[in-house]
Structure 1
Amino acid sequence: MAAKIRLMRTGAKNRPCYRIVVTHGASPRDGRFIEALGSYDPKQKDSENFTMDLERAEYWLGVGAQPSETVKSLIKAARKGAGKAKGEPLDGKTTHVPGERRRKRVEVAVAGADGAGE
């Protein structure tokens, strides 16, 4: 059976959210999946209502997985740059640099130690 890329419903009643997943064609909508590629929130009205690992989606398409109509449109939008790539901040800027605060404290401590030793 061929692999499919489709939406798996999560969320509550009257508050749908979906995961974009790769699954076997015969498995149920909310059943087991091979890999999760992203998420989609149809209630959100801005352009950032979905995230997708486009690199993995391209891989699965290359292997022969068949996307559903909705997932086709999401992949098309992701290729145009809408949505958010996995792991990127919304504004495209780095919001946190690991170790930045520690580096500043060490610089201040070293500068203070150099001044105290004279």
Structure 2
Amino acid sequence: MVKLRLKRYGRKGQVTYRIVAMNNLSRRDGKAIEELGFYNPRTNESSLNIANIKRRIEQGAQPTNTVRYILAKANIL
């Protein structure tokens, strides 16, 4: 099953996340199928590829709770 989830980047104390489509059995920082945007929790900034996110959801990808919250704030869900 494909999930939309966060992939961690950055150094200790200055973390950022990329929103990616991944197989649910992959590790958190493993190989992603597609990168769909990023999220910076320190500044609460996000950049999303809305068209690709909607396409992935239509194909059956399930967002995790955190990604669902980010998408809801951006009025995608």
Q: Which runs of 5+ in 1 are unaligned?
A: 81-118
Give yes or no for the alignment of 1:20 onto 2:16.
no
| Residue correspondences, number | 76
Aligned to 1:7: 6
User: Cα RMSD between the aligned structures?
Assistant: 1.1
Percent of paired sites with the same residue? 36
Cα deviation per residue 1:23-66 (whole Å; 9 max; x = unaligned)? 01100000000000000000015xxx000011111111111101
Give yes or no for the alignment of 1:77 onto 2:76.
no
Please identify runs of 4+ aligned residues in structure 1 that moved more than 3 A. none
Distance 1:10 1:68 in 2: 18
The structure richer in strand per residue is 2
Q: Which runs of 5+ in 2 are unaligned?
A: none
Q: What is the 5 A alignment of 1:98-117? A: none
| Amino acid across the alignment from 2:29 | D
Using CA pairs under 8 Å that are at least 6 residues apart, name the structure with larger relative contact order, 1 or 2.
2
Q: Bigger radius of gyration, 1 or 2? A: 1
Contact 1:21 1:38 in 2 (8 A): yes
Aligned to 1:32: 31
Which of the residues 52, 60, 66 maps onto 2:56? 60
